[in-house]
Amino acid sequence: MKPPFALLFALLAPLYAIIADPGDPHLNKVVAKLEAGQPVTGIWCLSRDLANARSLVEYNGFPSAEEALTEPMIDFLVVAMEHYPYDITELRSFTHGLTSRQEILAKGNLQPNLSVFVRIPAEGSQPVHAMIKQVLDIGAHGVVVPFVRTAEEARNIVAACRYVRPQGDPLEEPRGTRGFSPAIAKYVWGVSVQEYYERADVWPLNQEGDLMVIIMIEDPVGVSNIDEIVGVPGIGAVFFGPGDFTMTSGRQGDAGFDTSQAEAKIKAACDRAGVPFLAFANADNILERIEDGHRMLLIGSDIDKRGGAHQALEVLRQR
């Protein structure tokens, strides 16, 4: 029989190994899959209940590290807080609820299977700094900012997501404006304060960064400025809002209004800049979307009783 201390060490050794070596260099799974040339799929998250957090984790099962980066599954959540209540306390509890010890042990690293992006209420032309700071300080992997219209707005958003870099750092610009208090975020990510500082930078500006800045283009002004907007260093992805684009174009209620030209213009600008374009997809068009070069796909929501996301994933799994 092993001595008590030897037995305890044998039981804890695998966990020590995980802590000492997080495995994949990215704790943001979306970044890891994009860099590996894999498409990523996500859903709207409308319920921030703890039970929903558990169900979302368990829906993906508990894949190995390799399976998590190659198998079709829900890779990210866009937590809806633009039109739903902005409740940072509820969001903090939900983010903690997504942390699964079983998932960590199954994968052998600290990379969660679900990256969390939060769509904040503030628009690009409004003060966004405080909301972005709170969202990132509770451990989110990025933000989604609606109604971005100019490159200056995009640059301010990127700056709000960044800490000030060391003097002389070649990636110093856009200069960060985020205040430093990562106690909760580093706890959720499972890293030290210093490692969080190093990892919590915007990708792809910083290739080692684990934060994504996702901006939404939702009006004709944003579409007209899209080339300048995607040229801002640190933009991680662009998302087109066809519903609000219809509204801001003065065509609400016009069933014949076509938004496809605006979407195509944004997608083309993203392709030229090497920025992922986040698009809607379903079971009927998801393969076509991927063939067209879409790398980020929004395939449903957590309250879709028809199982649209599940159907889209089944199409990918049978491909």
pLDDT at residue 255, rounded to an integer: 84
Surface-to-core class of residue 149, CB atoms within 10 Å of its CB (0-12 exposed, 13-18 middle, 19+ buried): buried
Tell me the pLDDT band of 19, cut-offs 50, 70 and 90.
Answer: very low
Q: Looking at domain 23-317, which of 1.10.20.10, 3.40.605.10, 3.20.20.60, 1.10.3720.10 is its CATH number?
A: 3.20.20.60
pLDDT of residue 18 exceeding 70: no
Q: Where are the domains of the chain?
A: 23-317
CA pair distance 103, 9, nearest whole angstrom: 21
Average pLDDT (186-200) is 96
pLDDT at residue 9, rounded to an integer: 37
pLDDT at residue 100, rounded to an integer: 94
Q: Which amino acid is at 47?
A: S
pLDDT at residue 26, rounded to an integer: 95
CA pair distance 155, 235, nearest whole angstrom: 8
pLDDT of residue 8 exceeding 90: no
pLDDT in tens, 283-312: 999 999 999 999 999 999 999 988 999 999
pLDDT at residue 25, rounded to an integer: 79
Structure token digits, residue 71: 């198998």
pLDDT in tens, 106-131: 999 999 999 999 999 999 999 999 99
Q: Per residue in 191-209, is it b (16+ CB within 10 Å) or e — as a string? A: beeeebeebbbbbbbbeeb
pLDDT at residue 218, rounded to an integer: 96
CA pair distance 215, 119, nearest whole angstrom: 9
SS3 state at 215? strand
